[in-house]
Amino acid sequence: MRRRTLSRLSVAAVSLGLLATLAPSAGAAPGAPPAHDHGARPAYKRVGYFTQWGVYGRNFQVKDLDTSGTAAKLSHINYAFGNIGADGRCFTGNVPGEADAWADYVRPLDAAGSVDGVADTADQPLAGNFNQLRELKAKHPGLKVMISLGGWSWSTHFSDAARTPASRKALVASCIDLYIKGDLPADGTRGGAGAAAGLFDGIDIDWEWPGSAGDTDTVFRPEDKQNFTALVREFRTQLDAYARSRKQRTHYELSAFVPTAPAKIDAGFEVRKIMRDLDFVNLQGYDFHGSWESTTAQQSALFAARGDFSVDQTVNDWLRRGAPARKLVVGMPFYGQGWTGVTGGGDGLGRPATGAAPGTWAAGSEDYKALRKLADGGAFTVHRDRRNAHAWLFDGTTLWTYDDPQVLRAKSAYVRARGLGGAMFWSLDGDTPDGELITAVNGVLGGRR
């Protein structure tokens, strides 16, 4: 069967038409269906990453997902991250830079910081983020929580752990024990067998990247490509077996974060095979360019010139390799990439720069909520490429490329026009306190397909 394809201009036209009817303002569309309505057609996925470490410096708590209205507009929360040890098994504990059981399930929350308004007690087995996520699910039925394994920094041991049938079985069994069965290590009165049972609804594999380079200490091998397929199969097999053993009708979901670069796709992913076992994949829709480069460029455009990265290029590359459109969830950034020392005049895009722009938490990166203040402050000018759907800020010296509500509505309309699975956000702590970005997306994708 010939796959229906849409040209850039026709997709853009459809997107604009959808925007006119579905998202007339920065807020939720009037009369938009609720996030968890029930009907014959499947809902679009709205998958947000909640970062374990965000509860510290950023002071972004699980309760903020409720008070901002964000939780009601999400279908899934991906908890970032779970780690894999040198022994090839999922683990947690209090190991600086490697695991943080204190944030996960030990840290007590007072009444003011709790989703349900009740303070944690000294003897309850589950506290911290895990307990708050459990309370959030109770308040928002239908919201699913996934444990994300790996990420850029913690993909170190994936290749070793996936190398043999025995090692894959051991890895998957350990992850199911820890997160699905909820058998947490005892830490004083916290933890124990089944302490987190029922919290996680599935597993998200964030191996960055099978078969190609990732972080400096991450191992990769040519055989990762076939081993990733086998690992996905092992996760699917054991998750299904556990559900059957419990006589549950539950389907534990299985997803993966996957790259935009065609070379990385081909090095690490047997697309048709893995898509049989994955419920969906979250496409990398950002970090196309950044301050590691000496020339300013877009980091997350919907469209771009041939040969450049873009959301549309990423979607098409996965479709061409056999991924079903309904299983492709488009990644959208809640942060921007920035350069300083930009010269050459004009609007700043495509100009040389001397380095990374100063950021609140890391050079070259800034949360949307901070960029929004820059846009409103008068020193920076907002520039837009409406045809390619991306935006940037420039003050003559410093440039930030980012997504704002207008860009995200265009991308969400594109998701609808292409029959895709939904949207994913990295990360939820970058949004404004009133959830400006998630509201923009939900105004378009909050209903049924």
The answer to whether residues 76 and 146 touch, using CB atoms and an 8 Å cutoff, is yes
Residue 323: CB atoms within 10 A of its CB come to: 24
- Which of 135, 208, 234, 436 is catalytic? The answer is 208
Nearest of 272, 99, 84 to residue 168 by alpha carbon:
84
Is the CB of residue 170 less than 8 Å from the CB of residue 176?
Answer: no
The letter for the amino acid at 366 is E
| Virtual torsion, Cα 331, 358, 385, 285, nearest 10 deg | -10
**Type and span of the H or E element at 230:** helix 224-245
**Exposure string over 3-15, b if 16+ CB within 10 A, otherwise e:** eeebeeeebbebb
Quickly list DSSP for 84-143: E-TTSSEE-SEETTTEEHIIIIIS---GGGSTTS-PPPTT-S--HHHHHHHHHHHHSTT-
- Residue 223: active-site member: no
List Cβ neighbours of 409 (8 Å cut-off, separation of 6 or more).
19, 23, 440, 441, 443, 444
Write out the catalytic residue numbers. Answer: 208
